[in-house]
Structure 1
Amino acid sequence: MEDVWRSGLSESIRLLSSIEQCRQPKKAAKKTSKTEATIVASIRQGDALYESLEYAGAAAHYSKALHLTAGGGGEKKSDDLELVWKLASCHEKNRDVKAAIGIIEEISFKQRCQSSKLLSLAAHLYKITSQRRNALTHYRAIIKQTPLALEAIEGVLSLGVQSSELIGSVGGRIPAPVLRKYPWLTPWIRAHEQMYMNRFLAAADLFQITGDLIPDCSDLLAVHGYVLWQADQQQKAKVAFQRACSRDPHLLKYMDSYAHLLFVKEDRVELENLAARLLSTSQLYPQPWIALGYLNCLNARYTKALYFAQKALSLDERNVEGMILKGRALHSFKKYHDAIKHYKEALRLSSGYFEAMKGLVMCLLDNQMTRLAEATAQTAVRVLPQSARHLVLLALVYNRDASRREKMKQTLKEALRLQPGMAPASLLLSRLYSEEDDHQKAIALLKTSIEQSENANLTPLHVALGDLYRKTRQLQEALTSYEFALKCRRDCKKARNGIAQIQRDRRYDATTADQDDGW
């Protein structure tokens, strides 16, 4: 039996442990030795089932072992605390959070402090059940024991605690010698503080400082890419994500956000490569399924996208990207009520995620809930008054009401003041000018936006400019704009259609001129 246990053959261990527990002991055997053997067999069978992802069966065996351990109602030994952690972990993985918390609360906080793993699990469970005070108590206990427990530090910051509590010169929970020994720790903490306060540009700057101190760290590059993506610095975010992937080809964290970014940029080839890489890395996490979901959204296969979104959420029910993906797929099927529910849940978990807010507002508009959509967009603008994207979102709401065209125009101008060259704002405002027959003003706006834009993908701006030139019969300028659009993106159908239309217009003009000469 011991040889099999040391061999690590989980299935053999499970079967032999089951047989061992069913054997009748000899009459001479003592009751205590029988109990100890049963405990050992139960724990080993539980470990084998845990390794096979059979958490319910593992929990039953751990519970039996815990019940049989000596001092079940008194002070727990270190081995007993390990058993408590395993049992609570089984319930947590089976999504029975209430049972997991119940197991942990059977022992005192003083005893929990003897196991950092138990403290960490308890903090996580309290956090996801919105028990902020209990979560903070456990995270602080971990930091007191292990000042470099980055997961606990991030947990504290995610619950709204200011960085001064951790690194303050007076009363800071992380000792000054630790901060001096690891100079990257202070900007890392401040960067996460800004990130959880939805100040993504400030977070990006601080992560850049941290990255200069520890260059080529894949995890740091990934979170840097994430905050740049949230700050609408799409090209910079893509570069950061690419560097993270090249540094660690098996990286999973934040790769679902990278997939979302590639979907927004319509980079099909890169998204296909990412999905294939993530699938080869692991299929037990939501990231590969989210990448596949966005790839199918890009190909307008929303039934498959919905399936992959559900698959991702079955692996992690709190995955924000999975909720947004599922909301997008449900929106495409006009299941507005269900889509709104998923967008709201995504915003509850990540209040600053613009794509979730945009999905919610557009879903409300399509469901003819215009007042609620306007109120939601206005609230977002009040929370983030310096966000050009949220102003554009509010302008899209105004666009549904013809009487608010002037208000829409002012909102778009404010967005362009905050972010010169912003493509969505420029496209909407130029369309308004064009509808008012002020084509020259629209052309001038688009030309200025192309010069000022920090976005590497200028295709939509060049296509819109080409359409305006063609509308004003400036065919050579229109052809040049369409060609620029194709240089930015070779598979741009609108640019190809524009060039084809120009060729037809020129043939028509030539035919008309010949007829005039003949007349």
Structure 2
Amino acid sequence: RSKDAAVALAFSVRTFPCNWQAWTQLAPLCHGGAGGVDAAPLHLPRHFARQAFEAHVCLEGQRNERALALYRALARLFPGAAPVANAVATCFYNMRDFGEAQARFGALLERDPHRVEGMDTYSNILYVSEQWATLSHLAHRVVRTDKYRPETCCVVGNYYSLRAEHEKAVLYFRRALRLDRRYLSAWTLMGHEYVEMKNTPAAIDAYRRAVDINPRDYRAWYGLGQTYEIMHMPYYSLYYYRRAAQLRPSDARMWCAMGQCYESEQLGLREHAARCYRRALDNREGEGLALHKLAKLHQAMGDDETAAEYHAKILESLNVRVDFDLGVGGEGGRGGLDGDAAMELSSDDEGAAASTGGGVTPLGAADGSAGGAPGGQDAVDALLFMAEHSVRTGRLEAAMAYATRLLDYSSDAKETAK
């Protein structure tokens, strides 16, 4: 009876506008979707609490830019208000601006050294950025303040997770849930830990508990998708990734995850995968995964011209420069590609990138197979394809330029380049 509940709560806030508990109970009913209630007929009062309510609804619904604007307006009404500052920092965290979010949480902690509210989110930022010392200091601080708070247990759990002590991390997330069974972050983070421990049934149960509490928690939906992907069940995985993408349509990670599902052997829907990767590019996917996947997909589908365009973009994004003046030059020497792809050879690029681990090579990184040249294996694959494609299309000057650049890399493709 969502409508009846909304009417009763609206009457409460009209009578006592500062009854924040009623506002927070009303917020889940006004998100829209199944069971949602339109807030317009409720005749909510004109009051600063309504502005805070609207900001809270936007933040919960992942409309972070709108929430940030509303909270900044509230900050002008209440300068220095800690709850508003905490919400602004959370907006930046949701927008994945971790540097700004960390700075704001740090400033908030300096003003209130005994603060516990919001420190679980702050610990997530420190976990992602792998700041061991800062996270350890934060954990000790919140334990000294109040060790019987769910947020405190969450911070300590993140600390043990960063140390790869996943059993201890699960123990603290369980302690948080004993203190508050509806503490959403603990369910989601415990699901992550179970994934690390290869306990997929427990991970699925934890994520499902999280979405039962808050169906708008995109992290739990995304975690379910990852878990079923590990179990090689792409149909289930795709369903959960879609739910996550509906909640976070501007998050490139969701579209890349969906693309990988469509690309799997069981589905084999390459066109659908390509559309997802293009959507990821539209949302500023910054790790280079979408470009790499699009190049390989079009290569596998026999669309070499489109694959060449994406490989050229990969080289440009990795700052791999090719000297097309090595050949005769002219339009043919550029291989018919956009002028942006034709760049001069620069010795400054040598050794510019650091070696990274496995998986998809981050932008500007190099692995051991690349001999210190920029771009790593992604650059090797792109240069090799561009050289072979230029030979097939009769653009021999461009092929010479790509093959010459490939000689700077200590990989198996070097012999092919020769």
TM normalised by structure 1 equals 0.55
Select the residue among 249, 255, 261 that pairs with 2:125: 261
Q: How many residues are matched?
A: 329
Q: State the percentage of identical aligned residues.
A: 22
Written as runs of structure 1 = structure 2, the 5 A alignment for 1:222-233 is 222-233=86-97
Match of 2:278 in 1: 413
Written as runs of structure 1 = structure 2, the 5 A alignment for 1:227-246 is 227-246=91-110
Match of 1:279 in 2: 143
Match of 2:239 in 1: 375
Select the residue among 152, 155, 160 that pairs with 2:25: 155
CA distance in 1, matches of 2:148, 2:7: 31
| Closer, same or farther: CA 246–159 of 1 in aligned 2, 3 Å | farther
Residue type of the alignment partner of 1:261: I
Match of 2:291 in 1: 429
Offset of residue 150 of structure 1:
2.0
Residue type of the alignment partner of 1:156: L
Written as runs of structure 1 = structure 2, the 5 A alignment for 1:3-402 is 132=2, 136=6, 139-140=9-10, 142-160=12-30, 164=40, 171-172=43-44, 174=45, 176=46, 179=47, 184-382=48-246, 384-401=248-265
Structure number, greater radius of gyration: 1
Partners of 2:281 and 2:290 within 8 A in 1: no
Offset of residue 399 of structure 1:
4.6
Match of 2:313 in 1: 441
Partners of 1:340 and 1:360 within 8 A in 2: yes
Partners of 1:381 and 1:390 within 8 A in 2: yes
CA distance in 1, matches of 2:91, 2:39: 18
Offset of residue 268 of structure 1:
2.5
CA distance in 1, matches of 2:350, 2:155: 36
1:264-307 alpha-carbon deviations (Å, 9 max, x no partner): 23233332222122112111111122112122222222111111
Offset of residue 496 of structure 1:
9.6
Offset of residue 137 of structure 1:
6.4
Secondary structure at the aligned position of 1:252 is classed as coil
1:23-60 alpha-carbon deviations (Å, 9 max, x no partner): xxxxxxxxxxxxxxxxxxxxxxxxxxxxxxxxxxxxxx
Partners of 2:62 and 2:247 within 8 A in 1: no
Where relative contact order (Cα < 8 A, 6+ residues apart) is larger, the structure is 2
| Closer, same or farther: CA 209–399 of 1 in aligned 2, 3 Å | farther
| Closer, same or farther: CA 447–413 of 1 in aligned 2, 3 Å | farther
Residue type of the alignment partner of 1:200: N
CA distance in 1, matches of 2:171, 2:313: 46
CA distance in 2, matches of 1:308, 1:302: 10
Does 1:479 find its partner at 2:351?
yes
Residue type of the alignment partner of 1:416: L
Offset of residue 340 of structure 1:
0.8
Written as runs of structure 1 = structure 2, the 5 A alignment for 1:489-500 is none
Partners of 1:139 and 1:155 within 8 A in 2: yes
Partners of 1:218 and 1:243 within 8 A in 2: no
CA distance in 2, matches of 1:250, 1:332: 32
1:201-246 alpha-carbon deviations (Å, 9 max, x no partner): 3222221222233232211111222233233333333333223222
| Closer, same or farther: CA 268–423 of 1 in aligned 2, 3 Å | farther
Partners of 1:188 and 1:210 within 8 A in 2: yes
CA distance in 2, matches of 1:250, 1:234: 22
| Closer, same or farther: CA 308–382 of 1 in aligned 2, 3 Å | closer
Partners of 2:278 and 2:290 within 8 A in 1: no
CA distance in 1, matches of 2:350, 2:167: 38
Secondary structure at the aligned position of 1:154 is classed as helix
1:94-120 alpha-carbon deviations (Å, 9 max, x no partner): xxxxxxxxxxxxxxxxxxxxxxxxxxx
Match of 1:403 in 2: 268
| Closer, same or farther: CA 132–403 of 1 in aligned 2, 3 Å | closer
Alignment root-mean-square deviation, CA:
3.6
Structure 1, unaligned stretches of length 5 or more?
A: 1-130, 449-472, 486-491, 504-508, 510-519
TM normalised by structure 2 equals 0.67
CA distance in 2, matches of 1:286, 1:219: 18
CA distance in 1, matches of 2:29, 2:237: 28
